[in-house]
Structure 1
Amino acid sequence: MEETVETIHIYHTNDIHSHFENWPQIHHFLQQRKQQAEADGECYFLFDIGDHIDRSHPFTEGTEGKGNIELLNKAGYDAVTIGNNEGITMSKEALNIVYEDAKFDVVLCNLTELDGKLPYWAKMSKVFETTDGVRIGVIGATAPYYAFYDQLGWSVGEPHAALQKVARNLRTQCDVIVCLSHLGIKEDRLLAAQCPEIDVILGAHTHHLLPNGEWIDDTLLAAAEKFGHYVGHVQIEVDRITGQVVHMKAEVFPTQLMEMTEEDMEEVNSLFAKGEETLQVPVFYNPSPLSQRLTGDSPLSSLFGRALLTYLDADCALFNAGIFLGSLDKGWVTKGDLHSLLPHPINPCLIHLDGTDLLTVYEQSLDPKWAKLPIKGLGFRGTLMGSMIHEHLYRNNDGQLFAGNRLVEPGEMYTLATLDMFTFGFFYPILKEAKKEYIMPEMLRDILGWYGRKYFNER
Structure 2
Amino acid sequence: MMEVIHFYHTNDLHSQFDKWPRINRFIKNKRTEHERNSEEVFVLDIGDHVDRVHPYTEATFGQSNIQLLNDVQVDMATIGNNEGITMPFEALDQLYKDAKFEVLISNLYYPNKERPKWLKPYTIHETRQGTKIGFIGLTVFFSKFYQELGWHLSEPLEELEKQISEIKGAVDILILLSHLGINEDEEIARRFPDIDIIMGGHTHHILDQGKLVNQTLLACAGKHGNFVGHVEMVWDGYTVTSKKAELYDSNQLPAQKEDDKWVKDWRELGETLLQEEVVQLPNTLKSNWEQETKLSQLLAEGIREWCDAEASILNCGLFLKDLEKGPVTKLDIHQLLPHPINPCTVWIDGQELIEVVKQALEEKWMDWILKGLGFRGKVMGIFLFDGITVQDDSSTRKILLNNEPIDPNRIYKIATIDMFTFGHFFPEIYRAEKKDFDMAHMIRDVMEWKLKRTFS
Question: 1:326 aligned to 321, 326, 332, which one?
Answer: 321
**Corresponding position of 2:427:** 429
**Corresponding position of 1:18:** 15
**Corresponding position of 1:202:** 199
**Corresponding position of 1:72:** 69
In 1, Cα distance between equivalents of 2:61 and 2:147? 21
**Corresponding position of 1:150:** 147
Q: Does residue 37 of structure 1 match 2:38?
A: no
Letter in 2 for 1:427: F
**Corresponding position of 2:252:** 257
Alignment check: 8 A CA contact 1:318 1:417 kept? yes
In 1, Cα distance between equivalents of 2:31 and 2:373? 36
Alignment check: 8 A CA contact 2:348 2:428 kept? no
In 1, Cα distance between equivalents of 2:319 and 2:226? 27
Q: Secondary structure at the match of 2:340?
A: coil
Alignment check: 8 A CA contact 2:389 2:403 kept? no
Off by >4 Å, runs of 4+ in structure 1:
none
In 2, Cα distance between equivalents of 1:430 and 1:13? 38
Q: Secondary structure at the match of 2:14?
A: coil
Q: Secondary structure at the match of 1:90?
A: coil
Q: Secondary structure at the match of 1:224?
A: coil
In 2, Cα distance between equivalents of 1:11 and 1:168? 26
CA-to-aligned-CA distance 1:409-453 (integer Å, 9 cap, x gap): 111121111110101132111112211100121101100001111
Q: Does residue 370 of structure 1 match 2:360?
A: no
Q: Secondary structure at the match of 1:138?
A: strand
**Corresponding position of 1:442:** 441
Letter in 2 for 1:118: R
Letter in 1 for 2:18: E
CA-to-aligned-CA distance 1:249-288 (integer Å, 9 cap, x gap): 1101000001111211111111101100000001111111
Question: 1:416 aligned to 414, 417, 420, which one?
Answer: 414
Q: Does residue 266 of structure 1 match 2:265?
A: no
Letter in 2 for 1:246: T
In 1, Cα distance between equivalents of 2:55 and 2:135? 32
Scaled by the length of structure 2, what TM-score is found? Answer: 0.98
- The alpha-carbon deviation at position 111 of structure 1 amounts to 1.0
**Corresponding position of 1:407:** 405
Q: Does residue 134 of structure 1 match 2:149?
A: no
In 2, Cα distance between equivalents of 1:360 and 1:120? 48
In 1, Cα distance between equivalents of 2:287 and 2:38? 60
Alignment check: 8 A CA contact 1:11 1:234 kept? yes
- The alpha-carbon deviation at position 155 of structure 1 amounts to 0.9
Scaled by the length of structure 1, what TM-score is found? Answer: 0.97
Question: 1:341 aligned to 336, 339, 342, which one?
Answer: 336
Alignment check: 8 A CA contact 2:190 2:213 kept? yes
Q: Secondary structure at the match of 2:279?
A: strand
Q: Secondary structure at the match of 2:258?
A: helix
**Corresponding position of 2:209:** 212
- The alpha-carbon deviation at position 132 of structure 1 amounts to 0.9
Q: Does residue 315 of structure 1 match 2:310?
A: yes
Question: 1:284 aligned to 257, 261, 279, which one?
Answer: 279
Alignment check: 8 A CA contact 1:168 1:197 kept? no
Alignment check: 8 A CA contact 1:282 1:332 kept? yes
**Corresponding position of 2:110:** 113
Alignment check: 8 A CA contact 2:75 2:102 kept? yes
CA-to-aligned-CA distance 1:37-58 (integer Å, 9 cap, x gap): 0111100100000000000000
- The alpha-carbon deviation at position 13 of structure 1 amounts to 0.2
In 2, Cα distance between equivalents of 1:353 and 1:119? 38
- The alpha-carbon deviation at position 192 of structure 1 amounts to 0.5
**Corresponding position of 1:294:** 289
Alignment check: 8 A CA contact 1:424 1:431 kept? no
CA-to-aligned-CA distance 1:214-262 (integer Å, 9 cap, x gap): 001110000000000000000111113x2x2111111010000011112
Q: Does residue 193 of structure 1 match 2:183?
A: no
- The alpha-carbon deviation at position 139 of structure 1 amounts to 0.3
Q: Secondary structure at the match of 2:278?
A: strand
In 2, Cα distance between equivalents of 1:63 and 1:400? 48
Tell which deviates more after alignment, 53-62 or 311-320. Answer: 311-320
In 2, Cα distance between equivalents of 1:76 and 1:267? 18
Q: Secondary structure at the match of 1:210?
A: coil
In 1, Cα distance between equivalents of 2:146 and 2:436? 12
In 2, Cα distance between equivalents of 1:40 and 1:135? 20
Tell which deviates more after alignment, 385-394 or 274-283. Answer: 385-394
Letter in 2 for 1:338: I
In 2, Cα distance between equivalents of 1:120 and 1:402? 53
Letter in 2 for 1:428: F
In 1, Cα distance between equivalents of 2:423 and 2:58? 28
Letter in 2 for 1:300: L
Question: 1:177 aligned to 174, 179, 201, which one?
Answer: 174
Q: Secondary structure at the match of 2:321?
A: coil
- The alpha-carbon deviation at position 82 of structure 1 amounts to 0.2
Letter in 2 for 1:174: V
User: How many correspondences in the alignment?
Assistant: 452
CA-to-aligned-CA distance 1:125-180 (integer Å, 9 cap, x gap): 01111111111100011111122111101111110111122122211111111000
**Corresponding position of 1:454:** 453
In 2, Cα distance between equivalents of 1:254 and 1:444? 35
Q: Secondary structure at the match of 1:259?
A: coil
Letter in 2 for 1:147: K
Letter in 2 for 1:12: H
CA-to-aligned-CA distance 1:306-348 (integer Å, 9 cap, x gap): 1111111111111111100111001111110000000000001
